[in-house]
Amino acid sequence: MADKESNNCEVNREVRHLVSMANDIADNLGFRAEAGDNSAERIADHINRFWAPRMRALLLEYAAADGKDLSAALLSALEKLKT
C-alpha cells in the first residue's frame, strides 16, 4: 500500500511541475495575445515538438479531470493538441 501511495505522490508532483511549465510556456508564447492571434497554435506546436508523449498525456488527463490551475491560453492550446 505504501508503494502505491508513494507512486501517486510522485505522479502528483510530476503533474504539478508539468502544469507549472506549461503555464510558463503559455505566458511566454502568448504574451502578445490579441483577438485573432495564433498564440494557441504556437503553444500547442511547442508542446507537440518538445514534450514527450507521456508528458502531453499527463497534461491532457489533468485538463480533462480538473484543469483548474491551467491558464486560459493554455486551455485553448490544449484543444489544438486534441485535434
pLDDT greater than 50 at residue 3: yes
Q: What is the pTM of this model?
A: 0.81
- How many structural domains comprise the chain? 1
Q: What pLDDT is recorded for position 1?
A: 53
Using 50, 70 and 90 to split pLDDT, how confident is the model at 83?
very low
pLDDT greater than 70 at residue 4: no
Q: What pLDDT is recorded for position 27?
A: 93
| 19: CB partners within 8 A, 6+ apart | 59, 62, 69, 70
Closest CA to 39 of 78, 2, 3: 78
Domain that holds residue 59: 2-82
Per-residue pLDDT tens for 8-49? 777 799 999 999 999 999 999 876 555 557 899 999 999 999
